[in-house]
Amino acid sequence: MSTSTPPRLPRTGDTEQTAELLWKAVSAADEYAATELVLRLLDEGTDPESVLLDVIAQVQGRVGEEWAANRISVAQEHAATAINERAVTAVSTHSAARTAVTRGRITVACVDGEWHGLPARLLAEVLKLRGWQVDYLGAQVPTPHLIGHLHSTRADVVALSSSIATRLPTAHAAITACQAVGVPVLVGGAAFGPEGRYAKLLGADAWAPDARTAAGHLAQERLPRPASDHQRFDDLPHLGDQEYTMVARNSATLVRSVLTGLEDAFPAMRAYSELQRERTAQDLAHIVDFLATALYLDDEDLFTRFIAWTAQILVARGVPARSLPPALDLLDRELKDFPRAVRILRAGTHTLTTAPFTAAGNIA
Amino acid sequence: MPDLPWGRAPYPVLVADVHGAVVRCNDAAGLLLPAAAPGTPLTDVAPDWLCAAHTALSLPGPHAVPDTEGPLRGVIGGRCFEAHPTIRKDGSVAWWLVDDTDHQLVREALCMERGRTAFLAKASNVLLSSLNLARCMDVTAQMAAESLADAALAIAPARGQRLPVVTCLRGGAPVLSTLTVDPDDVPGLGEALRGFPPVPSRWIDPATAPAWMVPEGFGPVGSIVITPLPGHGVPAGALILLRRTENAAFRDEEEVFARLFAARAGAAMSAARLYAEQSTITDVLMRELLPPVLHHISGVDFAGRYRPSADHERIGGDFYDVHPAAVEGEASLVSLGDVCGKGLEAAVLTGKIRNTLHALLPMADDHQRMLGLLNTALLSSHHTRFATLVLASAVRRGNVVDLKLTSGGHPSPLIIRADGTVEEADTHGTLIGAIPNISSHTASASLAPGESCVLYTDGITEAKGGPMGDALFGEERLKRALSDCAGMPAEGIVEHIQMLAAQWLGNRPHDDMAVVVISAPRTHHLSAVNGHTRGRFTA
């Protein structure tokens, strides 16, 4: 890209092609090409919101897909995201993005432990373009910081983002804390499940599948002040059986005993290097995390979707996924006194034995 | 009628036939309904509600009284009665009248008290949940307008010449406005807002009320009362209640009730005010202690991120700074360090160290001398804490970034080469602030485009957790992670390392964690790109 003739741009409005160009720059980790491209689009008169959502967000979506399909590493995903972040900064400081405040005040943040800040950042920029006064608190905001911020500002609404389902218990705490200080919460992000079903379950005041819908929703109606007597437990009465608490608290012990059990069942595992062993333990820790989240929400679909995805990733990684059903089986044995956990684990096993990838012999 | 067993009954009893004529009545009924002589039409004797009930019930022949919800009730001669019918064989009805006026009054009073208690409990709930003054004022105005008056104004003590006022009409939404008015022009308002001298609720003549007090579209005002909001030693503000002409007057118990509400609103508003004052003080004092936002300086990329040990804090015992060179073409100075201990006390010492280093910038090219002077300064201060730190001078020459790195008892910086090799910088030295004579060894290194140097504190490597909860993150794991970061932008590396450490920890407790990355930009573009100005192509 060290050339004095800049790459020829497609005609304004052809966002698909531009997104392809940006994807090339981002995947080559070429931040200068990326920012140049975005700035030139704006100079040519492309609507800044369209640059953010039809170009940058599209590319970021693709980064996520590539990562989910294990075609790029977590580090590469971070590199690509850092470059997309710079592209967003370039848009937000361009003169075309200068907008006067005509609406209320909104706080945009990611749930604690959520490191994917870009979707929230894009929403923040879109809301600024639409005339909101936006306080963007960034990725992984601890709930005490969020509440401290709400006490010292008069935000009309909080927009909370989470992409990882295992952050949902934390998201729930954040949602109820915001509502308790009298501020309604709009949530978004992949964590909230298909059609945002967990958003409703966790008592969020609104849910939106993407930044454009969120901005439209917020423009349409003022979210009412949440009721003051809402208790977190009211949303999820099943938590009374303590299964979530027990599994979440003992996750390290569970991982250890399942790992030992696997080594007994597959003597070949004893020859694993320390790194391989740790990786297996990490996979098991993920399974326990998702099990705990499924218990929190009392939703076995969340667990089966995760198990199906893990099986595919293992296959993509070239690791035989045959250890997955025995791992679930061992967990089942460890948790035999917890009926909900057992039901969820068996649903996971059922998915593995009935899913199409077993036919190909990749699993089992 | 002494022949009847109920003739002397203390309750009035009246019998009327199917034609609606009075058959007989007892002594008590005679007193209550003096016109009730036998043969008189019931309509001439009894009130309409009783006549209507009789017509509906009194049919020829024996039949039962249909089930109704609760007894029939109505007013006779200004008192409240329950009417219990008994149907006789011929279809005539005996009406037993029970005076329950007092019972009714007690029930009404109980119902009202319950409503008020529920209202006060709700007010306390809502007011207690927020420490934001504006939100407390919203709630105060809105709840007062719902239950105490047709409109309400919550006024906070003035800031300078300007008076924050939240106005709410019954059924409407609270609206904040800031007015430039003199509260002393309104009788009682100035005192209420100053909180001194103590004044009771005060009625003012609606005709003399200033225009700003009456919300738009309110119509003619019947009454206005100004109630001071009692605070905790600080003035909390005032509540103004407006009623329209039709229900203008406040009854005594309504005034008592309004005062009870005002006490709660005042407590909440003064607490919110105290909180706001305290957090302003904290913010101002903490501003200098917060880690700075790093960016691109003179052709070198810098990025940093800090995570304090406690989630509710923003500062702690780790620190970093990047000081651009005073003269273009000279090296920028990066410092990153860790004060023994954590929390606020440690943060205060980081502030001192950062200030001292700032003052020593003129000798930034001589790391040993800087560390020596810092050591002397720390030894002579009353703090018994010591610190470890690393200094890095970074300057761009052509496409490469030249580095000088000096450690004062701190973990050595790690350098990520373009091929993913991770090297440890060969620097070591004594920690700072513990012994009078210190020594250190400076290492030199060059970063080719896309290469980075990582400075970190031991909070990262000593993060304890992992899938089985008992392993340290450790230097080996850090190096392995960094070797995946070859060619990544500085922010990406910083974020990646902080994320890996955070995920390793899970929910376990941890020390302060700081990471700074110095990178040589990847491409040949000269970089004025910092997000604010456009980059230029040079090659």
Its domain, for residue A161, covers 99-235
Among B129, B470, B485, the residue with its CB nearest the CB of A228 is: B129
How far is C-alpha B40 from the chain's CA centre?
Answer: 71
Q: Is B216 exposed, middle or buried (0-12, 13-18, 19+ CB in 10 A)?
A: exposed
| Residue B249 · residue B283 · CB < 8 Å | no
| Residue A347 · residue A303 · CB < 8 Å | yes
Backbone angles phi, psi at A189, to 5 degrees: 120, 160
- As beta bridge partners, residue B472 has B464
Residue A289, in any domain of the structure: yes
CB contact under 8 A, A82 and B488: yes
Q: Tell me how close the Cα of B323 comes to any Cα of chain A, in angstroms.
A: 23
CB contact under 8 A, B126 and A228: yes
Whether residues A13 and A51 share a domain: the answer is yes
Q: Nearest Cα to A217, choosing from A185, A190, A193, A191?
A: A185
The CB density around residue B447, as the number of other CB atoms within 10 Å, is 25
Q: Nearest Cα to B401, choosing from B301, B525, B536, B531?
A: B301
pLDDT at B531 over 50: no
Give me the sign of the Cα torsion angle B266, B272, B275, B279: negative
CA distance B493 to B102: 79
CB contact under 8 A, B524 and A2: yes
Per-residue pLDDT, averaged over B376-390, amounts to 87
CA distance B76 to B375: 97
Whether residues A275 and A333 share a domain: the answer is yes
The CB density around residue A320, as the number of other CB atoms within 10 Å, is 13
Q: Which of A4, A35, A154 to mutate to test the interface with B (most CBs of B within 10 A)?
A: A154
Q: Tell me how close the Cα of B123 comes to any Cα of chain A, in angstroms.
A: 10
Query: What pLDDT, on a 0 to 100 scale, did the predictor assign at position B187?
Result: 85
Residue A2, in any domain of the structure: no
Whether residues A81 and A115 share a domain: the answer is no
Per-residue tokens: B221: 């005002």
pLDDT tens-digit map of B284-325: 988 888 999 998 899 999 999 999 988 778 888 999 999 999
Q: Write the Ramachandran bin of B145: left for phi over 0, alpha for psi from -120 to 50, otherwise beta.
A: alpha
CA distance A315 to A357: 9
How far is C-alpha A297 from the chain's CA centre?
Answer: 17
Residue A190, in any domain of the structure: yes
Query: What pLDDT, on a 0 to 100 scale, did the predictor assign at position B443?
Result: 97
Residue A147, in any domain of the structure: yes
The CB density around residue A353, as the number of other CB atoms within 10 Å, is 11
Whether chain B has a CB inside 8 Å of the CB on A354: the answer is: no
pLDDT tens-digit map of B231-254: 877 788 999 999 988 777 788 888
> Using N-to-C axis directions, what is the helix angle for A31-43 and A74-93, rounded to 10°?
30
Residue A1, in any domain of the structure: no
CB contact under 8 A, A115 and B495: yes
What CATH number is given to the structural domain containing A326?
Answer: 1.10.490.20
The CB density around residue B306, as the number of other CB atoms within 10 Å, is 23
Domain count, chain A: 3
CA distance A166 to A171: 9
Whether residues A75 and A56 share a domain: the answer is yes
What CATH number is given to the structural domain containing A144?
Answer: 3.40.50.280
Of A207, A235, A263, the last residue of a domain is A235
Of A235, A269, A299, the last residue of a domain is A235
What CATH number is given to the structural domain containing A16?
Answer: 1.10.1240.10
Cα dihedral value B481, B483, B487, B488, nearest 10: 10
Residue B165, helix vs strand vs coil: strand
* Most confident option among A167-171, B66-70, B347-351: A167-171
Per-residue tokens: B20: 């609606």
Query: What pLDDT, on a 0 to 100 scale, did the predictor assign at position B15?
Result: 92
Residue A335, in any domain of the structure: yes
Q: Nearest Cα to B305, choosing from A165, A119, A178, A78?
A: A78
CB contact under 8 A, B489 and A31: yes
* Most confident option among B59-68, B123-132, B471-480: B471-480
Give A-chain residues touching B502 at CB under 8 angstroms.
Answer: 113, 115, 140
Cα dihedral value B177, B179, B185, B187, nearest 10: 20
Query: What pLDDT, on a 0 to 100 scale, did the predictor assign at position B197?
Result: 76
pLDDT at B5 over 80: no
Whether residues A32 and A80 share a domain: the answer is yes
Give A-chain residues touching B496 at CB under 8 angstroms.
Answer: 74-75, 78
Q: Which domains does chain B have, with CATH numbers?
A: 13-99 (3.30.450), 116-284 (3.30.450.40), 296-519 (3.60.40.10)
Whether residues A109 and A197 share a domain: the answer is yes
B432: DSSP letter: B
Query: What pLDDT, on a 0 to 100 scale, did the predictor assign at position B530?
Result: 45
| Residue B268 · residue B128 · CB < 8 Å | yes
User: What is the rounded end-to-end Cα distance, in angstroms, of chain B?
Assistant: 124
Q: Which of B525, B530, B533, B538 to mutate to test the interface with A (most CBs of A within 10 A)?
A: B525
CA distance B313 to B507: 16
Whether chain B has a CB inside 8 Å of the CB on A120: the answer is: no
Q: Tell me how close the Cα of B306 comes to any Cα of chain A, in angstroms.
A: 12
| Residue B318 · residue B306 · CB < 8 Å | yes
Per-residue tokens: B491: 């922010």
CB contact under 8 A, A82 and B468: no
Q: Which amino acid is at A271?
A: A
Query: What pLDDT, on a 0 to 100 scale, did the predictor assign at position B355?
Result: 94
Residue A123, in any domain of the structure: yes
Query: What pLDDT, on a 0 to 100 scale, did the predictor assign at position B529?
Result: 45
Whether chain B has a CB inside 8 Å of the CB on A142: the answer is: yes
CB contact under 8 A, A4 and B537: yes
How far is C-alpha B8 from the chain's CA centre?
Answer: 68
Whether residues A209 and A331 share a domain: the answer is no
Residue B323, helix vs strand vs coil: strand
CB contact under 8 A, B489 and A79: yes
Nearest Cα residue in chain A from B488:
A79
| Residue B339 · residue B346 · CB < 8 Å | yes
Which residues neighbour B63 within 8 Å (Cβ) at sequence distance 6 or greater? Answer: B87, B91
Residue A297, in any domain of the structure: yes
Whether residues A348 and A270 share a domain: the answer is yes
Query: What pLDDT, on a 0 to 100 scale, did the predictor assign at position B194?
Result: 85
Whether residues A220 and A126 share a domain: the answer is yes
Q: Average per-residue pLDDT in chain B? A: 89
The CB density around residue A208, as the number of other CB atoms within 10 Å, is 21
pLDDT tens across the length of chain A (364 residues) = 344 444 445 454 578 888 999 999 998 888 889 999 999 999 999 999 999 999 999 999 999 888 888 888 888 888 899 899 999 999 999 999 899 999 999 999 999 999 999 999 999 999 999 999 999 999 999 999 999 999 999 899 999 999 999 999 999 999 999 999 999 999 999 999 999 999 999 999 999 999 999 999 999 988 888 887 777 778 899 999 999 999 999 999 999 999 999 999 888 888 888 888 888 899 999 999 999 999 999 999 999 999 998 888 888 777 767 778 999 999 999 999 999 999 999 999 999 988 665 433 343 3
Whether residues A189 and A144 share a domain: the answer is yes
Whether residues A80 and A133 share a domain: the answer is no
Whether residues A37 and A47 share a domain: the answer is yes
Of A235, A261, A295, the last residue of a domain is A235
